């Protein structure tokens, strides 16, 4: 299997290096990732200028752009053969609920929707995780199942791993996206007659009794959320039909 690996934390990030070693058991790995951390870039494409490409070696490319740039350029310009699957991660920081709107990690998986198998985004739900020494064991809880049973379903799998020791992980849960409250206020500062803003932190998760990604991770489960890019509101569409 030909695997194209990316991540919005950059091609040198710990998470992508850990995942590369794990994935070597599943196929041939090529890395295409931003040259630096570009978190929260979503599916942004650089369409107003040229994107610089740095070939690190035969199997690794550093792109001076976004995650979507990286995958687009490799699959539509550099690689002679299409990859079988796009995998994005391991991101340090959760990508749950409303996060998927902004996430470069999830955007990497979304950009892989055209290829043979279901793309996968993997995150550990802590910006500075403590328990990365046993990430291989955690990933192996779900990766064989996805590769052997689920990968042909043609969806996008968004996976979030709790930051806790492997022996405390209770298993996996198939979940839906949760929701967050509105983000914290931006911090506005005036320096030398110029106005600057620092984007506010994400809002807290909204409690729910259903199987959301937030609930799964909170209770010690690895969350697997199937996503699609169809943002149509079918309930409202049916209500609006009478106005046609």
Average of pLDDT values for 163-180? Answer: 97
Give a yes or no: residue 236 inside a domain.
Answer: no
Counting Cβ atoms within 10 Å, is residue 162 exposed (0-12), middle (13-18) or buried (19+)?
Answer: buried
Which positions ≥6 away from 224 have C-beta within 8 Å? 142, 146, 157, 158, 159, 172, 173, 174, 175
* pLDDT category of residue 13 using cuts at 50, 70 and 90: very high
Give a yes or no: residue 234 inside a domain.
Answer: no
Give a yes or no: residue 221 inside a domain.
Answer: yes
Longest pairwise C-alpha distance within the chain = 59
Residue whose structure tokens are 């996503």: 227
Give a yes or no: residue 73 inside a domain.
Answer: yes
d(Cα 88, Cα 110) in Å, to the nearest integer? Answer: 9
Give a yes or no: residue 243 inside a domain.
Answer: no
Q: Show the 3-state SS of 64-127.
A: CCCHHHHHHHHHHHHCCCCCCEEEEEEEECCCCCCHHHHCHHHHHHHHCCCCCCCCEEEEECCC
Share of the chain above pLDDT 90, in %: 95
Give a yes or no: residue 238 inside a domain.
Answer: no
Render pLDDT for 25-71 as a digit per residue (tens, 0 to 9).
999 999 999 999 999 999 999 999 999 999 999 999 999 999 999 99
Q: Which parts of the chain are beta strand (E)?
A: 2-6, 28-34, 53-57, 60-63, 85-92, 120-124, 156-161, 171-174, 187-191, 194-198, 221-227
pLDDT at 17 over 90: yes
How many domains does the chain fold into? 1
Render pLDDT for 186-237 as a digit per residue (tens, 0 to 9).
999 999 999 999 999 999 999 998 899 999 999 999 999 999 999 999 999 9
Smallest CA-to-CA distance from 97 within 9, 206, 209 is with: 206
pLDDT at 151 over 90: no
Give a yes or no: residue 86 inside a domain.
Answer: yes
> By residue range, what is the domain housing residue 212?
2-229
d(Cα 86, Cα 108) in Å, to the nearest integer? Answer: 8
Specify the pLDDT at position 15.
Answer: 96
CATH of the domain at 68: 3.40.1210.10
Render pLDDT for 40-52 as a digit per residue (tens, 0 to 9).
999 999 999 999 9
Specify whether the CB–CB gap between 97 and 123 falls below 8 A.
no
Give a yes or no: residue 173 inside a domain.
Answer: yes
Which positions ≥6 away from 12 have C-beta within 8 Å? none
**What does residue 201 show for φ and ψ, rounded to 5 degrees?**
-65, 160
Average pLDDT score over the chain: 95
Which positions ≥6 away from 185 have C-beta within 8 Å? 200
User: 85-92 and 28-34: which strand pairing?
Assistant: unpaired
């Amino acid at each position: 299997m030909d695997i194209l690996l990316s991540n919005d934390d950059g091609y040198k990030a710990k998470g992508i290096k850990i995942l590369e070693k794990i994935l070597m058991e599943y196929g041939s790995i090529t890395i295409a990732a931003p040259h630096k951390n570009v978190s929260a870039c979503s599916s942004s494409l650089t369409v107003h200028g040229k994107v610089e490409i740095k070939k690190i070696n035969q199997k690794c490319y550093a792109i001076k752009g976004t995650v979507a740039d990286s995958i687009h350029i490799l699959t539509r310009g550099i690689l002679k053969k299409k990859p079988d699957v796009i995998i994005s991660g391991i991101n340090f920081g959760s990508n749950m609920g409303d996060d998927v709107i902004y996430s470069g990690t999830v955007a990497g998986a979304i950009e892989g929707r055209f290829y043979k198998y279901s793309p996968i985004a993997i995150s550990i739900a802590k910006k500075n995780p403590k328990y990365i020494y046993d990430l291989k064991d955690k990933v192996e809880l779900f990766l064989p199942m996805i590769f052997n049973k689920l990968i042909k379903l043609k969806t996008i799998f968004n996976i979030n791993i709790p930051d806790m020791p492997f022996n405390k992980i209770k298993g996996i849960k198939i979940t839906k996206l949760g929701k967050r409250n509105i983000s914290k206020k931006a911090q506005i500062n005036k320096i030398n007659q110029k106005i600057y803003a620092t984007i506010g932190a994400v809002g807290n998760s909204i409690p729910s009794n259903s199987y959301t990604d937030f609930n799964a991770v909170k209770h010690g489960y690895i969350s697997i959320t199937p996503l699609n890019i169809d943002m149509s509101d079918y309930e409202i569409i049916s209500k609006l039909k009478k106005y046609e």
